[in-house]
Amino acid sequence: MGKLFTLCEWVMKLAYLNILWFLFSLAGLLVLGMMPATIALFSIVRKWQRKETDFPIWRTFLSIYREEFKKSNRLGWCLIASGVFITFDFLLIRTVHGTLQLALIVPLIMITVFYIITLLYIFPVYVHYDLKMIAYIKNAFFLGILNFHITLIMLAGLAAVSYLILLQPGFIPFFSIVSFAWVLMLGGNYCFNRIEARKRKVRKSYI
């Protein structure tokens, strides 16, 4: 009964956090609210995965939302602009034919892959480190490249979650975004722990 109660409690917490994400995103008319709401959600998921559970969800979410509103939106507009640029390039390449199209499409596909890898890690990196804007993007990219096997596992996890949610669309308001965040933060924390373990080994070698 104790385990069942704990399970039900976690289900309620996840659903509550997901609903908060939707409400705060709408509060910022999506355009301005989605990024700070996402940062707040990832911050709380990070705390939970690191065994920090004794904190008020509402006050923590609201505090992070307000604190990261401007900074997270700057990052969001940067990511959106990059995505629009890549999409525009794909549309432009469709008007070109022959060898030139092949010469342009190959590097653009590589850039798109790098962009997707960066997106997978950008939120875990953002909530784990305190860096400058460009440093977030660089660290997210290199983290994904250096831990490519984790990147593939994260993609598989996202695909599995997407499939389950599509099977039961009624779960979208309660478990959609928080499930994606859980998968990404789990992969991010694994990579962060590996980095910290390496740093400890280096320190010991100098002692």
Tens digit of each residue's pLDDT (9 = 90 or more) over 78-116: 999 999 999 999 998 888 887 888 888 999 999 999 999
Whole-model pTM: value is: 0.92
Q: Which domain holds residue 144?
A: 2-206
Q: Hey, what are 118's tokens?
A: 């960066």
Residue (of 187, 179, 183) closest to 11 by Cα position: 179
Number of structural domains, the chain? Answer: 1
Cβ–Cβ under 8 Å, residues 123 and 39: yes
Model confidence pLDDT, tens digit, residues 50-64: 999 889 999 999 999
Cα atoms in the Cβ-side hemisphere of radius 13 Å centred on 108: 18
* Cα(8)–Cα(30) distance, integer angstroms: 30
